[in-house]
Amino acid sequence: MSFLPKNRKSRFIFKCILGMSFVLFFIGRSEIPLPIPATTAFVPFEVHGPTHLPFVAETEYAHLVSLGKVELVYENEEESMTIWATTELGWHHTEQWETYSQTIQDSPVYFNQTEALTILSWQRDGVEYAIDYKGHELSMQDLFDVAASMN
């Protein structure tokens, strides 16, 4: 007994679906760096990197974390910035958020700062964004400018 449909057209469609399922599973479960624009094909929202980055990134790439979460990474030897975009609202489990004085497209902006990491978070069109910055060169205004450039 075969799992393949009997007619030729149905078998072709079945094989295409099976192949795409394998590709989605492989990409979604791996740590393969992708070009940032390539991630848009796998998530239900448009993925844009920032047009303003206040440091020189020697490396930039994206990871498809799940079919609803993307990680954009910009880094050099001294600092790194990870920008998260996800439909999993409230995913960033930080104990205490402070409200930033400015908004992004009328969305409140929240931040949390420790000695090792600064996090800036906001929501737009059912997608939650967060910037995780490690380094000592950027101010909160610099991070806000990065976030605002993603519109």
pLDDT of 55 > 90? The answer is yes
State residue 11's pLDDT score.
66
Q: Where are the beta strands (DSSP E) in 5-117?
A: 59-66, 69-75, 80-86, 98-104, 107-113
Cα(45)–Cα(119) distance, integer angstroms: 22
pLDDT of 2 > 80? The answer is no
Helices then strands, each counted (H, E), the chain: 2, 7
pLDDT, mean over the chain: 82
- Which domains are delineated in the chain? 1-30 (no CATH), 36-148 (3.30.200.100)
The pLDDT tens digits for 71-118 are 999 999 999 999 999 998 776 666 778 887 888 878 898 988 888 889
pLDDT of 28 > 60? The answer is no
State residue 8's pLDDT score.
74
Question: Are the C-beta atoms of 90 and 134 separated by less than 8 Å?
Answer: no
State residue 31's pLDDT score.
63
State residue 43's pLDDT score.
86
The pLDDT tens digits for 116-151 are 889 999 988 889 999 999 998 899 899 999 998 986
Q: Where are the beta strands (DSSP E) in 39-97?
A: 59-66, 69-75, 80-86
**Residue count of the chain:** 151
pTM of the model: 0.76
State residue 1's pLDDT score.
44
Side-chain half-sphere exposure of 46, counting CA atoms within 13 A: 6
| Higher pLDDT among residues 108 and 29, named by residue | 108
